[in-house]
Structure 1
Amino acid sequence: METPMEALERTATILSSSINGLFTDLEKIADAVTAVANAAPEAPRRSEFLFLKQELADFIKLNSDLINGAGIAYATGSLPETPHWLEWWRGQPKGGPRFVTHDLNPDSLSYYDYTTREWFTLPASTGQPVAVGPYVDLGGINVNIITLCVPAPTPQGTHVLGCDLTLAKLERVFLRALQLREPAVILLGPNGRVITSNNARIATGTLLLEEDAQRVAASLDVSAGHPSRLPWKLISLHDKARIGS
């Protein structure tokens, strides 16, 4: 019979493989962005990056079982036409992805300043890919998401490409991989927030309770080979009755 730790190890392998596959595909697109910028004799205009619409559409369609959108956020002042520019596309049940409009006017009450968001600042400042969240996507669809983001360094600054995973889609992958009802197992983000679990009491998006933190029986990094870009842990809990005996 499989032990709980063996179930955690199997689940970590499946999650890591799935998410790192997304990172790999995003990095290929980011490399193309960097190549275009490096080849341009001067700061490239938005028209030089029109190929991204199809690249991102293909990426979203190929990975629709995990993600619901993807896009690029340009470094401040990198485009001649505008100081800021964000292109994000949302997958649709039918047809191609839909462009998501963001208010980029600093004087507007609904201004979306992506340059202050962690999903932009972390890869732009560190030059490393990272998974950010879970958090509520107030600038898009107002649901709990995780954003995978990778840097695209250019002479004009570092652009950031990313994709959004809704927690509902990630939860399905987690439960299929885990195949356990007991013990309670939690996929935990670096901010102590529950990404998902196999226990209805431990709700997605909530902070791990102190009483649960004291019941941790086993802990495992989801991606030991890439802990900085995928800083998630799988933890299993002791049964309450066992703790009290």
Structure 2
Amino acid sequence: MSDRHVDQVADRVHTIVADVFRSLDHVLASVVACYRASGSFACADLAAVRPEIFDCLSRTHEVVAGAGVIMAPGVLADRRRWLEWWQAPPEQDPVFLNVDLDPDSLDYYDYTAAEWFAVPERTRRRHAVGPYVDYGGTDTYMLTFTVPAEVDGRFLGVVGADVRAARFEALLLGVLAASPTQITLVNGEDRVVATNSPRLPAGSLLPDPGSDRLPLPELPWSIVTGARRATVLSA
């Protein structure tokens, strides 16, 4: 696939995603340093990571809606499971996300089964998930980016960030609107991440996946081109 509009979309996607992962790398470094400095890694030790989490939310406030650390079971000395997760409401201080981590509860949240946790645990590589409806947090379509935390071969958990799908698409609007043809960014299941077609809302399945697509490096996403659009929106 050779099209300058497609290349521009790919470059813009890469820039946005790279900025998110760059911020997560700072949180990751803090988690690793905290783990190494602790004789018995406990929940209270994660307070030392919060400044980096808050800084991530501050630096990326126009993109990231939530960020934090999700611990692998058994890593903390005093908690079997733990989410050190903070959300960033507009014009407000970060808010802690309190979820039910009691396996005997009807509302138990088993995050270890979530793709954003299970895939980095298995592959030890960064991952992107979505769009999906975040029923447990914001009830909106969300994208989640995660990075595995590992020390000397031990998997500690993941560092992650949530990005609202609508916000992600808005950040791509300029390059998408400039294309005279339909351009759709899809995930591995051919669900729409972003597009310049008003008929394809985020999260919907691409009705005609076609064969003309550009896989994006290090992401489970592809760019698919379609028919010529009737009009081109102003950027």
TM (norm. structure 2) is 0.90
* Alignment partner, residue 172 of structure 1: 170
* Alignment partner, residue 76 of structure 1: 73
CA shift for structure 1 position 46: 1.8
Q: Is the 8 A contact 2:209 2:224 kept in 1?
A: no
CA shift for structure 1 position 47: 2.0
CA shift for structure 1 position 219: 2.2
Question: Which SS does the other structure have where 1:238 is aligned?
Answer: strand
Question: Which SS does the other structure have where 2:3 is aligned?
Answer: helix
* Alignment partner, residue 131 of structure 2: 134
Unpaired runs of at least 5, structure 1: none
Taking the aligned partners of 2:156 and 2:43, their CA distance within structure 1 comes to 15
What CA deviation, in whole Å up to 9, does each residue of 1:103-124 have, x standing for no partner?
Answer: 1111111111111111111112
Matched, 1:116 2:113: yes
CA shift for structure 1 position 188: 0.6
Bigger RCO of structures 1 and 2 (CA < 8 A, at least 6 apart)? 1
Within a 5 Å distance, the mapping from 1:1-245 to structure 2 comes to 5-41=3-39, 43-154=40-151, 157-180=155-178, 182-209=180-207, 212-214=208-210, 218-222=212-216, 224=217, 227=218, 230-239=219-228
Q: Is the 8 A contact 1:187 1:196 kept in 2?
A: yes
TM (norm. structure 1) is 0.86
Q: State the one-letter code of the partner of 1:95.
A: Q
Q: Is the 8 A contact 2:177 2:196 kept in 1?
A: no
CA shift for structure 1 position 240: 9.3
1:240/1:70 Cα in 2 relative to 1: closer, same or farther (>3 Å)?
A: closer
Taking the aligned partners of 1:55 and 1:84, their CA distance within structure 2 comes to 21
Q: State the one-letter code of the partner of 2:47.
A: L
CA shift for structure 1 position 38: 2.4
CA shift for structure 1 position 81: 1.3
CA shift for structure 1 position 77: 0.9
Percent identical among aligned pairs is: 32
Taking the aligned partners of 1:176 and 1:96, their CA distance within structure 2 comes to 30
CA shift for structure 1 position 78: 1.0
Q: Root-mean-square deviation (CA), in Å?
A: 2.0
CA shift for structure 1 position 36: 2.1
Taking the aligned partners of 1:56 and 1:32, their CA distance within structure 2 comes to 9
What CA deviation, in whole Å up to 9, does each residue of 1:4-39 have, x standing for no partner?
Answer: 810110111111012112112212211221122123
Q: Is the 8 A contact 1:73 1:160 kept in 2?
A: yes
Taking the aligned partners of 1:134 and 1:202, their CA distance within structure 2 comes to 13
* Paired residue total: 228
Unpaired runs of at least 5, structure 2: 231-235
